[in-house]
Structures are given as C-alpha cells and as structure tokens.
Amino acid sequence: MNREEILSYLSHTPVTEFRYFESIGSTNDEALSWADQDAPDFALVLADEQTEGRGRFERHWVTNPGSSLAFSLILHPLASEKGQLSLFSPLCGLALRETLATRFGLKAEIKWPNDVLLDGHKTAGILVEAAWSGETAAGIVMGIGINIYKGSVPPANAQLFPATCIADHFHSPIDRLEFLQVLLNSLAKWRKELGSPSFFQEWQNHLAFKENLVRIEDSQKTSIIGIEKGINSRGNLVLILGDGQEKEIVAGDVHLRPVEQR
C-alpha cells in the first residue's frame, strides 16, 4: 500500500480524510485520539501492520504486514443515532457480510455480538469504542480487523475461537484496497438504515448459530445454555432455555459458543 494508491480507491467512498501507517500500535487508539481533536465524520485510520491491535476485553489481535485489513472509522453520531450506539457494531457486521457476499460470493454469518464467520470460523473482529465529551458520545470509532491471507490467522494454540481467512475460501488474488472500498460504501449504505426494520431483518437473516444450542459464558456468572432464537428490538440476544422460558442476553463481558451436539 502507498498513499497515492489508497487515495485513488478512497476517492470513490464517503471517506473525508485518512491517515495511513505502515506500522502502528493500534488504529483504534489513533482514531480515538483524532476523534478527540478535529477528525471529521467518516475519517479513516488504516494500517498495514498493528503491533498492539486489540479486540474485546483487551485481547491481542494479530495484524501481520500484507496479510490483513486493519482500520478504524470515525463517525460523529447524528441526533437520531445517539440512542442507538449499541447498533454500530452490528452495522459493521452487516456491511462486511454484504461485502463478502457481493464481492466474493461467500456466505458469511454474524456471530453476536461482534464477529463475522465463514464456515463457522472467525474471519473478522469488530471493536466499537466511543470518544466521550462529558456524557455525550462525540465520536464513535469502529475498528475492524479482517483476516485476508493465511499469514493473518494466529496459530491454533493461540485461538480462543476457531479462525480462518478469506483466502481459504476464495482462490483468486484479493485486492485489499478494492475490498476496503466496497466495504466502506456498504457501511455508508447501512448507516442510513441504522435501527430500521430492514436493518434488524438483515441481521436476523444472517445470524450465526440461529436455532442451534449455544452457551453464553459470563466471567461473573454460571454459563447459560439455550437455543438461540434471535435478536430483539434492543439488539440483545434471545435464548430459549430448557424449560421453554426466554432469556435476554445483553452484550457485555460475555462469550457465545456453540454447544457440540452428540
């Protein structure tokens, strides 16, 4: 990647400004700092390598040079969006799923609350953070890490959930910047639908493990096992427990895992 090449692709997206780094600690940290200053809406931080990339719960996210897409997008929530901040993570998931389908013909699923899967394996992680001004979210930073080539997949003994890369499912050269271009345009499209019936329907249609037995692991409580029913109007996961009762799960310090049928 070089700045001129990146600019030629981004000129066909809504990106207003961008910063590119061959190597950086974390694109999200850079974006949060920029959001606290003068970053415009739809500003982008892009890196070829992250040395301190992170996911939820401060987990390390591997971003080796030339192998992944790692970027953070800064949005300034509109008045109509400020009550729907929890939907920015599935917004990323919807856009990425659509890009994988339209550009590569791949059937991806969205694992609640913030991963994208190919054939049941994680190919992308999403970390959404807010830059606060008092009690108001002045900026939303949407960090996305996507495994493109084999060098992006951590060794099996370092995986907390089975991982894969797009190249394992699409056997032609992948232009990372073209992929980024399509994804950014999809993000802009789905942002206009944030919280709408079509937004939730698309999410439901492509929800991983729907109608399957799953386990919700909470670091503070006993695990919950139930049939994954879907997403409710608040974006929370709904399980059907063994006694037939429904249980609403709020995104937080929780992990979702399929339960192996025997």
Report, as an integer, the average pLDDT of 99-110: 96
**Which pLDDT value is given to residue 141?**
96
- Is the pLDDT confidence value at 228 over 90? yes
Calpha distance 249→231 (Å, rounded):
9
pLDDT bucket at 194, cuts 50 / 70 / 90? very high
Report, as an integer, the average pLDDT of 201-215: 95
User: pTM of the predicted model, to two decimals?
Assistant: 0.92
Per-residue buried b or exposed e for 11-35, using 16+ beta carbons within 10 Å of the residue's own CB:
eebebeebbbbeebebbbbbbbebb
pLDDT bucket at 60, cuts 50 / 70 / 90? low
**Which pLDDT value is given to residue 262?**
36
pLDDT bucket at 145, cuts 50 / 70 / 90? very high
**Which pLDDT value is given to residue 61?**
63
**Which pLDDT value is given to residue 238?**
96
Domains of the chain: 3-205 (3.30.930.10), 213-258 (2.30.30.100)
| Phi, psi dihedral angles at 239 (to 5 degrees) | -110, 150
**Which pLDDT value is given to residue 261?**
47
What are the tens digits of pLDDT across the range 15-53? Answer: 999 999 999 999 999 999 999 898 999 999 999 998 876
